[in-house]
């Protein structure tokens, strides 16, 4: 559906401040699939996301949506208001309207030309799905909201467009534990509707057990691409040092490296707990067979 081919990008090219942030990156987002992109700060993840969303034209390479270049012959982005959308890591930077209602309804009113009744219905449903108190906050300035409310407001404004591809940059920032679980549950249902989702995140715990693909970026290059299970199991030191795998996954990895478990490294917490129980039981059996001599 959405494909980036050989993407490279340099900021301030042909100046003393030239800085290459992407180098030959390729990525494909397919319908019904969730892709997790991680890596250290400054690796180029957000720049790639902006290019995929058509917010930044790359210095080199192309982005195709359903096989067609998202840029026309005149160099401008082809108008796709409800196809590929992106929620920024800093949602307050994308707000421009005076009220929450105007902000959330703008895409439906101006981008899609909807009537008031349908706009109200869509906003009410999506706000309810994300536990965003739209009726209470509708006349407030979006900039006056808390960071968690701002993030939810940005998500409501995008999800009501019913896009084909959704790109989320650090979507869990500013949300409490209950809100994080609610959002990830909603996103799982959302992708079941033959849509593509790209999540950029440093905290991986709530994503690893349901994403289809995982990518790791380091210094503007894609150094890993595979399944979440393959990411957890990789022994590549460059990849493992670049990411923050959850403690339970790290435990599973060290149990495997130490020869204390026979199965593969797991991303699933229940499986890792079972692996730990089996490792402890095995150690107890070894100690019973070969007790430690008393001093």
State pLDDT tens for residues 7-51. 999 999 888 888 999 999 999 999 999 999 999 999 999 999 999
**Per-residue confidence band for 91, with pLDDT thresholds at 50, 70 and 90:** confident
Contact 154, 166 (CB under 8 A): no
Q: What percent of the chain has pLDDT over 70?
A: 95
Residue 96 CA to residue 263 CA, distance in Å, equals 52
Residue 62, pLDDT above cutoff 60? yes
Residue 159, pLDDT above cutoff 80? yes
What per-residue confidence (pLDDT) applies to 76? 74
Average pLDDT, the chain: 89
Find the distance separating the first CA and the last CA of the chain, reported in whole Å.
Answer: 68
Residue 75, pLDDT above cutoff 80? no
What per-residue confidence (pLDDT) applies to 98? 94
Residue 222 CA to residue 44 CA, distance in Å, equals 9
Poorest-pLDDT segment among 139-143, 204-208, 257-261, 289-293 = 289-293
Residue 214 CA to residue 201 CA, distance in Å, equals 11
Residue 169 CA to residue 150 CA, distance in Å, equals 14
Higher pLDDT, 199 or 147: 199
The neighbour count for residue 266, using CB atoms within 10 Å, is: 25
Q: CATH 3.40.50.300: does it fit domain 2-238?
A: yes
Residue 295, pLDDT above cutoff 60? no
Residue 240, pLDDT above cutoff 80? yes
The neighbour count for residue 47, using CB atoms within 10 Å, is: 21
Residue extents of the structural domains in the chain = 2-238, 246-289
């Amino acid at each position: 559906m959405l494909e980036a081919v050989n993407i490279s990008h340099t900021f301030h090219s042909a100046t003393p401040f030239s800085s290459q942030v992407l180098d030959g990156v390729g990525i494909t987002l397919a319908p019904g699939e969730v892709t997790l992109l991680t890596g250290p700060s400054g690796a180029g993840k957000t720049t790639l996301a902006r290019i995929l969303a058509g917010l930044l034209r790359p210095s080199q390479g192309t982005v195709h949506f359903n096989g067609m270049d998202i840029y026309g012959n005149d160099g401008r982005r082809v108008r796709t208001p409800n196809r590929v959308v992106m929620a920024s890591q800093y949602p307050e930077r994308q707000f421009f309207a005076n009220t929450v209602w105007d902000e959330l309804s703008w895409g439906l009113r101006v981008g899609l030309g909807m009537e008031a009744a349908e706009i109200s219905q869509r906003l009410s449903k999506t706000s309810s799905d994300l536990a965003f108190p739209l009726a209470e906050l509708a006349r407030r300035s979006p900039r006056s909201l808390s960071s968690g409310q701002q993030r939810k407001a940005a998500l409501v404004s995008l999800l009501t467009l019913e896009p084909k591809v959704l790109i989320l940059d650090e979507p869990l920032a500013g949300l409490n534990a209950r809100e994080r679980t609610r959002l990830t549950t909603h996103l799982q249902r959302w992708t079941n509707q033959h849509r593509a989702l790209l999540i950029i995140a440093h905290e991986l715990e709530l994503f690893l057990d349901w994403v289809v693909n995982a990518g790791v970026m380091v210094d503007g290059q894609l150094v890993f691409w595979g399944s979440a299970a393959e990411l957890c199991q990789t022994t590549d030191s460059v990849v493992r040092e670049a990411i923050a795998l959850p403690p339970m996954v790290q435990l599973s990895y060290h149990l495997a490296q130490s020869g204390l478990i026979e199965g593969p490294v797991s991303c699933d917490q229940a499986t890792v707990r079972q692996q730990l129980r089996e490792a402890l039981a095995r150690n107890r059996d070894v100690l019973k067979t070969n007790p430690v001599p008393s001093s």
